[in-house]
Structure 1
Amino acid sequence: MRIAFYGSSLVSAYWNGAATYYRGLLRALAARGYEITFYEPDVYDRQKHRDIDSPDWCSVVVYEGTVAALKRAAASAAEADVVIKASGVGFEDDLLLVEVMAAARPAALKIFWDVDAPATLQELRAAPDHPLRRALSSLDLVLTYGGGDPVVRSYRALGACQCVPIYNAVDPETHHRVSEDPRFAAELAFLGNRLPDREARVEAFFLAPAARLGNRRFLLGGAGWHDKPLPANVAYIGHVPTADHNAFNATPHAVLNISRASMAENGFSPATRVFEAAGAGACLITDAWEGIELFLKPGEEVLVARDGQDVVELMRKLTPASAQQIGERALARVLGEHTYAHRAAEVDRVFRDRSSRVEAAE
């Protein structure tokens, strides 16, 4: 089957947290025989910060950030068997949804793929005339980056025919163990862009513990933190290219995952960082959120912190031997149950099941 996928960016992870998710899933779907074309707008300087070349497993079409170019790209949806519009494309999202679905053939599977369900649902509830809300009943399927039953129930209540969470995972070919790199030496490291609904949690779970553990080196990576006051023992290294993520995860004593507030409140939304870290055999400490046990076992495959005090206590107790054991168990768990090959098999099943239902109803 041919897939036309309209998303933020496949070739650039610059201010684009969905890049790893897209790459892992689409690569695994291509391995199952899907022919995929990814359409992305040239916005936010992403093309100036490309971190991969156009892959051989997916055609990439970059269109100008103009309405005319958007409409030309959307018209290509008519050639596909599966048409997917993702959330957060970054240029005229509402118009893109309308144009893409209007161009899709009647027999094509029409899908909205939400990579930030809590934010999207909040927007839809506040706007009864929102283009996506009006379109939900005409779409065949909503797929989400995470969210579990709460998100499924919310989408169904708003009119979606079917909603299925497709969680993050690890691609063993891109995220794996590597040798330690002195650039990333630290007791605890955190990688994440500075975002409004994450900043207070970074202060609580990372910066406050760093201030209390002043004799230990902390490492902060990600865009936007350059003017943030930091404790003296926190080293800020800016944007970390995806090519360095394995070393960033494999080198420190432990790495920290801090969810955005909306993701933590909703639960069942493991970030790509969780699986990147586990794939590199890192000892991961994550903030607490409902559903973590579906992916990693707390206390054995991941350490869970309810607040900054927990982070301090976990760091004081953690030894090199225990950190290594946790990392090894996490790696075994994600390779056994949470690779993008596992997720692609689920997506393939959902696609085929939904297609057969649509055909039977015609």
Structure 2
Amino acid sequence: MSHGLRIAFFGSSLVSAYWNGAATYYRGLIRALHARGHRVTFYEPDAYGRQEHRDLQDPDWARVVVYSNDRGSLDECLDDAFGADVVVKASGVGTFDAYLEARVLELRRSGTQVVFWDVDAPATLERVAKDAHDLFRPLIPRYDGILTYGGGAPVVNAYRELGAKQCVPIYNALDPDTHHPVAPEQRFAGDLAFLGNRLPDREARVEAFFLKAAEALPRSRMLLGGSGWEDRVVPANVVRLGHVYTQDHNALNCSARAVLNIHRDSMARFGFSPATRVFEAAGAGACLITDAFEGVEQFLEPGREVLVARSGEEVAEHVARLTPEDARRLGQAALRRVLAKHTYAHRAVEVEAALGYRAGGRA
């Protein structure tokens, strides 16, 4: 590629997955964009203890700028981003979000596109719908485009109704260099593993799909990974793992007989939003059980590449019936599908199309 895009990206964190579920998504996409000749500078705040829990050194495929959690430092980053071909404001940076949403629009000029990248579109849209005075609402038509982490037609239509010039879902995917099959580890051996931080709009579904299944299968060993579960009462057969670092995800996915994916409330309602964990697990060749969501068959074929459950009882039934051979067969089928259709290399091409970019020429 003769000349790639210079992309200034304001997001939560690239170097830390601590209380930052978007890390895997950012890493996979930005690495794939770099491989296609684009240069990304990622601006992230020093917030929420993420720098103390880094699980990635500054990569050679992006320039990372960590700014102090104050407006002056952020303004310096905005000055630094001036003149980029594409300026991205991601949702959920976690500090100065409303300020950033307005300020990045001031960087738009001939040759510079400003894009809002919504990594939690269902939550954003529900918030804007509830509050006619939401500060982000009038800014939507001013962006050159909205990219979203998922949501399908319901999200696209909702953003278009709010005046978005265009809205393009860029779904989660697999980075095969990061998530891949490894040897199982005894510490993660179990019948079912669930990995997810304790969040208000997820907890009730974790109770319904994971803890209820654990109660129904008292002889099974169930693994619960993620932050925030320390003081939660759980059945006796549930092993709490605490925060599981990214480098241990493959071992977890390859050691348990099955891995459970549970969507947050808003993601489940909008559908077409497979979580990062879906592709992480499939990429490791894990046998995946997911709560039902609209559009699942667009990503994996139910019954052949993924098991779908509508309740904790159905999760328990899947686990009880699942032989090691069945689990292996499902996992291998899922791995083949995601390698063929759902890697970040595939998504990077979709990002270029959304930005109107053609190799050898600009948008």
Decide whether the 8 Å contact of 1:75 with 1:100 is kept in 2. Answer: no
Q: How does 1:242-281 map to 2 (within 5 A)?
A: 242-281=246-285
Number of equivalences: 357
Deviation at 1:74, TM superposition (A): 1.6
Decide whether the 8 Å contact of 2:7 with 2:88 is kept in 1. Answer: yes
Measured on the aligned residues, the alpha-carbon RMSD in Å equals 1.4
Partner of 2:120: 116
Deviation at 1:212, TM superposition (A): 1.4
Q: How does 1:348-359 map to 2 (within 5 A)?
A: 348-352=352-356
Deviation at 1:353, TM superposition (A): 5.6
Q: In structure 2, what is the Cα distance between the partners aligned to 1:209 and 1:134?
A: 44
1:131 to 126, 130, 135: 135
Partner of 1:310: 314
User: Deviation digits for residues 130-182 of structure 1, max 9, x if unmatched?
Assistant: 33221121211100000000000000000100000000000000000000011
Q: In structure 2, what is the Cα distance between the partners aligned to 1:126 and 1:186?
A: 42
1:233 to 207, 230, 237: 237
Partner of 1:192: 196
Partner of 1:60: 64
Partner of 1:216: 220
Deviation at 1:315, TM superposition (A): 1.0
Decide whether the 8 Å contact of 2:42 with 2:63 is kept in 1. Answer: yes
Q: In structure 2, what is the Cα distance between the partners aligned to 1:277 and 1:57?
A: 24
Decide whether the 8 Å contact of 2:83 with 2:112 is kept in 1. Answer: no
Decide whether the 8 Å contact of 1:124 with 1:130 is kept in 2. Answer: yes
Partner of 1:2: 6
Decide whether the 8 Å contact of 2:105 with 2:142 is kept in 1. Answer: no
User: Deviation digits for residues 239-290 of structure 1, max 9, x if unmatched?
Assistant: 0000000001010000000000111111000000000000000000000010
Deviation at 1:321, TM superposition (A): 0.4
Structure 1 residue 330 corresponds to structure 2 residue 330:
no
Q: In structure 1, what is the Cα distance between the partners aligned to 2:128 and 2:81?
A: 25
Amino acid at match of 2:155: V
- SS state of the match for residue 147, structure 2? strand
1:76 to 71, 77, 80: 80
Amino acid at match of 2:233: P
Decide whether the 8 Å contact of 1:76 with 1:103 is kept in 2. Answer: no
Q: In structure 2, what is the Cα distance between the partners aligned to 1:272 and 1:185?
A: 22
Decide whether the 8 Å contact of 1:80 with 1:104 is kept in 2. Answer: no
Deviates more, 1:124-133 or 1:324-333: 124-133
Structure 1 residue 88 corresponds to structure 2 residue 89:
no
Amino acid at match of 1:278: A
- SS state of the match for residue 60, structure 2? coil
TM-score normalized by the length of structure 2 = 0.96
Deviation at 1:61, TM superposition (A): 0.2
Q: In structure 1, what is the Cα distance between the partners aligned to 2:114 and 2:285?
A: 38
Decide whether the 8 Å contact of 2:104 with 2:114 is kept in 1. Answer: no
- SS state of the match for residue 245, structure 1? helix
Decide whether the 8 Å contact of 1:77 with 1:104 is kept in 2. Answer: no
Q: How does 1:29-44 map to 2 (within 5 A)?
A: 29-44=33-48
Deviation at 1:76, TM superposition (A): 2.0
- SS state of the match for residue 311, structure 1? helix
Deviation at 1:82, TM superposition (A): 0.4
Which aligned runs of 4 or more in structure 1 are off by greater than 6 angstroms?
Answer: none
Sequence identity (%): 61
User: Deviation digits for residues 182-241 of structure 1, max 9, x if unmatched?
Assistant: 110100000000000111111111111111111110000000000000111100010000
Deviation at 1:351, TM superposition (A): 1.1
2:303 to 299, 303, 317: 299
2:146 to 137, 142, 145: 142
In structure 2, stretches of 5+ residues that fail to align are none
Amino acid at match of 1:244: D
